[in-house]
Structure 1
Amino acid sequence: MEKGIKKNEALLWLGSWTSRFGNIVFDYANSISIVSFFAGKPIVLALYQSSETIIQIIFNLVGGVKADNGNRKRLVIITDILAGLICFVLSFFINSGRMAMVVIAANALLALVYAFNSPTYKSLVREMIYKDRIGFYNSIAHAGSEIIGITGPILSVGLVAVIGTRGALLFDAVTFFVSALLECCLVRVVETPSKVKGSQNVITDIIEGIKYLLSERQIFFLVILSALVNFFLAGYNLLLPYTDVMYKGIFDNFYSKALAMEAAGGILGSLVISKAADRFKDNVYIMILFLSGTGIAMLAEPIIAPLQNMYLCLIPFALFGIALTSFNIILMSHVQVSVDENFLGRVFSIIFTVAVLFMPVGSFSFSSFVDAKSVGSFAIVGGGIVILSLFSLIMLKVIGSRKCSD
């Protein structure tokens, strides 16, 4: 792998990080406004939050089709400009009588834009980054995203306090416009094969994408694996806030510390895996090894808990962050390198759609049969992931043997 940072890598990093920070400020500013003006109507905040998920489920697959049939660079530029315009227009409705309706509509529109932007952006990496540097690119991108995820909410508080909600939304608009400007400077660095023209029928193109996925056994297996992982991650995310209850009277504010340790683990995992991601991106067994690491970390939490040592109890969350980040980076890099260029957007859109669908399924399932106040419940999450990992290794053997027989 060549050393040094390439121009396209820097542009893509800055563009994605700028948009990420803008999204955090957008959500914070709008949530604060809704809570302030509709304190007695939590349904308004619920509609605001749920509109995003519903839109993504409906339009992610359409976004994948457009990513495969159109000019990906132009599409990400247009979607970022549209996101900036939405924030700009929304800023004029703050404190107005129609604020609730407009904020919900704006959030839904941004979710629609994101449904087209996200699979396209992930697919664009294939055109702008050399194959032997995609793992490195994804690692640094993830590390930066984690850092922004930690600092973004804190900076958002200060930003809204200084320039107000309207000023924060105008700031959001600028972040999206900056992203679009950076993307204009991207230059394709690899020769890409001629695209197979789509059928001009979105449904037909989605079906073609699904057929392609079913024909690629290993990629299809990884999509199913990521969906099942999200089921257990939903259980983890459900239990994590309850750690304050689990350790009540033993540790103070354990939840916030666990979040910080997980994020620190994610950053560390991104930086460590950046040195090896390009060697591992074709090794599915290494990917599953990291996945099993997340399960082992959660199995360790109930074992360590009786020691009542806060630092020891936090270690599994850091290890969880390291392992999960490594798994995600290798999975993303493997898909970007292995999938046919003509189906890359649709494969990513299927992955995102399945992930969105499985998260609420996991949340409701775990809430119904798991004791959220018991630290032992983490063993169910961890045990499920370990069993999933072992089953995945068996399935890989089966897929491999079928390939040989074919």
Structure 2
Amino acid sequence: MKKLEKNEVLLWFGSWTSKIGNIVFDYANSMSIVSSFSGKTWILALYQSSETIIQIIFNLIGGAKADKGSRKKIVIITDILAAIVCAVLSFFVDTGCMAEVMICANAILAVIYAFNSPTYKSIIREMVKKNRIGFYNSVSNAGGELIGIAGPIIGVGLVQIIGTRGALLFDAGTFLLSAFAESLLKRVIEVSKPENEKNNVISDIMDGFKYLIREKEILFLVILAALVNFFLAGYNLLLPYTDVMFENEFHNFYSKALVMEAIGGVIGSALCSKIAGKFKDDIRALILFLGGTGMTMFIESAASILKNMYVCLVPFILFGIMLTCFNIMFMSHVQTAVDEVYLGRVFSIIFTVAVLFMPLGSFAFSFFVNMRSVKSYALVGGGIIMLSMIGLIVNKINNKKM
């Protein structure tokens, strides 16, 4: 077991408490809207969609600010602002304007997150030793997976015990705890940010794109991640329909598949904590893990023939392992390989592209795949495998040029 360092513990604590707050916030608000406006589904749709639109607009700005200002101050301030929003929102529960205020609050939190997320990813370079970034990301991801499982349960319990208002005040407390943990961080490396005469956000964002175009390997990874998200949208679209696919064989298969995928995520995180150092700069290994996610979808299509629930659930564990390893290795490589000056902007571009490609994939696969057939997983998996093969070829060509 590796010895834990203070900054790593503080960053994990800050990230996990914020994630708990986000999960409880979404659950409490969604349940409140559903119970109060059961006949107006468009209110919940507006609440959920506003976040995506705002992320597309503000992610790039957040990344540019992360590269120009103090990252530590930005993550602290954004968490404090999130706490204030939750606390203020709690006073509007059970009022006549609750829906409007909740939608506005969610929009404000989406703006805050657009600044916090790329900054939090890029601050790792300053606060964690380079040779430990893979290990840090592995543990962070494992904790996130466990919170993803426990979060909704916590949300249900809080709303039932202390009500929606109490749950929102609990959220405010989690964000304040996160800000406190971040205030104790100490840099392990000094970051020198060059003076830049330009003080224009648009110019800063364009500089980030120019950097990506110059750095072919990083650009290749960003494009790969974007295309992966397109196909993963197909997987996410199919997953809830597993209840329909297996309605004559199994009961509540969807919920079981979600649990198996989360378990796979924890296993994948544990695996990566052991091998991250060995493969941190190995693009080929990263692409092979990606290809593994596609292969698990082929296995699921084949496993369905046996009509055994346990056999059919195994591919979802494998999928969680493969996708988690790919994500951890991808993030770790970006955090170590990208120039410190452009790190926030690169992450903001990655997040923006991800937000754009997921809905595109969802709509595309909704037209071209049969939602009632488990064989549709083979189509999505085949796309990922083909993408991985192309990635391996491109990577081999790039290595020959070096």
With the shorter chain as reference, the TM-score category is over 0.9
Answer yes or no: is 1:202 the counterpart of 2:201.
yes
- Find the aligned partners of 1:167 and 1:195 in 2 and give their Cα distance: 46
Partner of 2:358: 359
Partner of 2:228: 229
- Matched position secondary structure for 1:276: helix
- Find the aligned partners of 1:276 and 1:196 in 2 and give their Cα distance: 38
Q: Give the 5 Å matches for 1:267-346.
A: 267-346=266-345
Partner of 2:101: 102
Answer yes or no: is 1:396 the counterpart of 2:383.
no
What residue identity is the alignment partner of 1:167? G
Superposed CA deviations along residues 163-188 of structure 1, whole A, max 9, x for unmatched, are: 00000000000000000000000000
Answer yes or no: is 1:79 the counterpart of 2:65.
no
What residue identity is the alignment partner of 1:211? K
TM-score normalised over the length of structure 2: 0.99
Structure 2 unmatched runs, 5+: none
Partner of 1:370: 369
The answer to whether the Cα contact below 8 Å between 1:196 and 1:342 also exists between their aligned partners in 2 is no
The answer to whether the Cα contact below 8 Å between 1:28 and 1:153 also exists between their aligned partners in 2 is yes
- Find the aligned partners of 2:129 and 2:54 in 1 and give their Cα distance: 33
Q: Give the 5 Å matches for 1:7-406.
A: 7-197=6-196, 199-402=198-401, 404=402
- Find the aligned partners of 1:317 and 1:195 in 2 and give their Cα distance: 46
What residue identity is the alignment partner of 2:321? I
TM-score normalised over the length of structure 1: 0.98
- Find the aligned partners of 2:194 and 2:98 in 1 and give their Cα distance: 44
Structure 1 unmatched runs, 5+: none
The answer to whether the Cα contact below 8 Å between 1:231 and 1:358 also exists between their aligned partners in 2 is yes
What residue identity is the alignment partner of 1:214? I
The answer to whether the Cα contact below 8 Å between 2:68 and 2:193 also exists between their aligned partners in 1 is no
Superposed CA deviations along residues 93-124 of structure 1, whole A, max 9, x for unmatched, are: 11111111100000000000000000000000
Aligned residue pair count: 402
The answer to whether the Cα contact below 8 Å between 1:198 and 1:205 also exists between their aligned partners in 2 is no
Give 1:231 shift. Answer: 0.4
- Find the aligned partners of 1:297 and 1:193 in 2 and give their Cα distance: 44
Give 1:196 shift. Answer: 4.4
Give 1:397 shift. Answer: 1.9
Give 1:198 shift. Answer: 6.3
Farther-moved stretch of structure 1 (305-314 vs 103-112): 305-314
- Find the aligned partners of 2:154 and 2:329 in 1 and give their Cα distance: 30
- Matched position secondary structure for 1:322: helix
Q: 1:198 to 1:229 in 2, by over 3 A?
A: farther
What residue identity is the alignment partner of 1:86? V
- Matched position secondary structure for 1:93: coil
What residue identity is the alignment partner of 1:302? S
- Find the aligned partners of 1:400 and 1:3 in 2 and give their Cα distance: 33
Superposed CA deviations along residues 266-309 of structure 1, whole A, max 9, x for unmatched, are: 00100111011122111000000100110110011111111111
What residue identity is the alignment partner of 1:36? S
- Find the aligned partners of 1:198 and 1:220 in 2 and give their Cα distance: 26
CA RMSD of aligned residues (A): 1.0
- Find the aligned partners of 1:210 and 1:198 in 2 and give their Cα distance: 19
- Matched position secondary structure for 2:76: helix
Give 1:197 shift. Answer: 3.0
Superposed CA deviations along residues 23-57 of structure 1, whole A, max 9, x for unmatched, are: 00000110011111111111110110001000000
Give 1:199 shift. Answer: 1.8
The answer to whether the Cα contact below 8 Å between 1:85 and 1:173 also exists between their aligned partners in 2 is yes
- Find the aligned partners of 2:289 and 2:192 in 1 and give their Cα distance: 33
The answer to whether the Cα contact below 8 Å between 1:64 and 1:345 also exists between their aligned partners in 2 is yes
- Find the aligned partners of 1:348 and 1:378 in 2 and give their Cα distance: 30
The answer to whether the Cα contact below 8 Å between 2:91 and 2:165 also exists between their aligned partners in 1 is yes
Q: 1:132 to 1:91 in 2, by over 3 A?
A: same
Give 1:399 shift. Answer: 2.1
- Find the aligned partners of 2:223 and 2:113 in 1 and give their Cα distance: 23
- Matched position secondary structure for 1:257: helix
- Matched position secondary structure for 2:247: coil
Give 1:398 shift. Answer: 2.2
- Find the aligned partners of 2:269 and 2:358 in 1 and give their Cα distance: 23
Q: 1:11 to 1:44 in 2, by over 3 A?
A: same
